[in-house]
Amino acid sequence: MTDRVLIGAASAPNVAAVLLVNQANDGRDSHIAHEALLRTPGRPISTMSIEACGGSVKAIAQGTTLAGALADAIAKAEREEFPVSELIMAAECGGSDATSGMASNPVVGVCADILIDFGGTVCFSETTEMMGAEHILARRACNEEVARRIIEIVANVEKAANAVGATVAGGNPTPGNMAGGLSTIEEKSLGCILKGGTRPVQGVLDFAQPITGKGLWLMDTPGHDAVSVSAKAAGGSHLNIFTTGRGSPLGNAIQPVMKVCANAATVAKMSDNFDFSAAPIISGLATKEAMGQDLYRLMIAVCSGQLAAAEAIGHYEFAIHHIGILD
């Protein structure tokens, strides 16, 4: 799992060059570099081992030298235009409240539909937050096998929770979700899946599996925000549109994370952390269709170089999930 994420991060479309730092001198960094180069031939990648350097102080010195050489190697790279059909958008929600399902997630869903209709790709996830709504997603599957996989991954989440004497509903909705007006896991799930829009689900991807097809894809991830965002980034998405009602500053180390919020009070308290307010939908001043088009235009601007709020602040996170044996 860890190697899959590291290989995905090293070959991610937003990464221009890579310095792999390994503690041991066991060749693992070379393996990751080799696999990443198979996906992105020609990408500048350097490797180093702290042990081989003789300790941390010498490793920092060598790493600084290697990083400088990598920066020089990519300094002359020039930006090129590409069609939106090549864009891979990820969608996430965290710190959800009642406004998430009523406005923020539907707006992201409209944006997702627009991109897919232009030939692009969208990936959403958070299997733990599809409990009670998996049958609705399964009806949108492009074939019976995809429908079966949707039901299966949700069942596996409950199975894993039961193995340690717990249930998914026992921890969902969270206290913050309930304080924000969400009552049950089913209500939360029905809102969660709206960020995937309305187009057919083309397939189910494992955690951090490369996103290679067109259309709408579902990735099997936990609900932990930093972990789920990192998985889709390692899968090859270019940016993530993240909805929140309670507020979240989350950003990612290798892709822009755009924040959407429909709770006017939260937006007022954390305005520096948000890129887009969907609050006019709640107040009846706008429709999700109109705001979805506005969000799509903002997404294109961010993909073209405009900084997302988390980037401007400098808030970056990256986390790797570890999955235990279910059987």
At position 240, the amino acid (one-letter code) is N
Count of domains forming the chain = 2
Residues 101 and 69 in one domain: no
- Choosing from 74, 92, 109, the residue where a domain stops is 74
Residues 250 and 179 in one domain: yes
- Secondary structure of residue 91 in the 3-state scheme: strand
- Choosing from 50, 74, 98, the residue where a domain stops is 74
Residues 206 and 113 in one domain: yes
- Secondary structure of residue 16 in the 3-state scheme: coil
Structure tokens at 32: 């990751």
CA 316 to chain centre: 13
Residues 114 and 214 in one domain: yes
- Secondary structure of residue 122 in the 3-state scheme: strand
Judge whether 318 lies within some domain: no
Judge whether 50 lies within some domain: yes
Structure tokens at 148: 């079966």
Structure tokens at 1: 């799992």
Position 120 scores a pLDDT of 99
Residues 220 and 267 in one domain: yes
Position 26 scores a pLDDT of 86
Residues 150 and 105 in one domain: yes
Residues 40 and 88 in one domain: no
- Start-to-end CA distance of the chain, whole Å, equals 17
pLDDT along the chain (327 residues), means of 10: 92 96 86 91 94 96 98 92 97 94 97 99 96 95 98 94 85 87 90 96 97 97 94 98 96 97 97 97 97 99 97 95 59
CA 216 to chain centre: 14
Residues 222 and 258 in one domain: yes
Distance CA 277, CA 285 (A): 12
Q: For residue 127, what are the contacts with CB-CB under 8 A and spacing of at least 6?
A: 153, 154, 156, 157, 220, 221, 222, 223
Residues 65 and 90 in one domain: no
Range of the domain at 112: 84-313
Residues 288 and 152 in one domain: yes
Distance CA 46, CA 33 (A): 8
Judge whether 3 lies within some domain: no
* Phi, psi (rounded to 5 degrees) for 148: -65, -40
Residues 111 and 146 in one domain: yes
Residues 21 and 113 in one domain: no
Closest to 195 measured CA to CA, from 244, 147, 231, 154:
244
Question: Where do the DSSP E strands lie in 164-238?
Answer: 201-205, 215-219
Distance CA 120, CA 106 (A): 18
Judge whether 259 lies within some domain: yes
Total residues found in the chain within this entry: 327
Distance CA 291, CA 293 (A): 5
Judge whether 202 lies within some domain: yes
Judge whether 24 lies within some domain: yes
Position 168 scores a pLDDT of 82
Structure tokens at 301: 């601007």
Report the relative pairing of strands 121-124 and 88-93 from DSSP bridges. Answer: parallel
Judge whether 204 lies within some domain: yes
Distance CA 283, CA 278 (A): 10
Position 326 scores a pLDDT of 40
**pTM for this entry:** 0.94
**What is the rounded radius of gyration, in angstroms, for the C-alpha atoms of the chain?**
20
Judge whether 4 lies within some domain: no
- Choosing from 28, 53, 74, the residue where a domain stops is 74
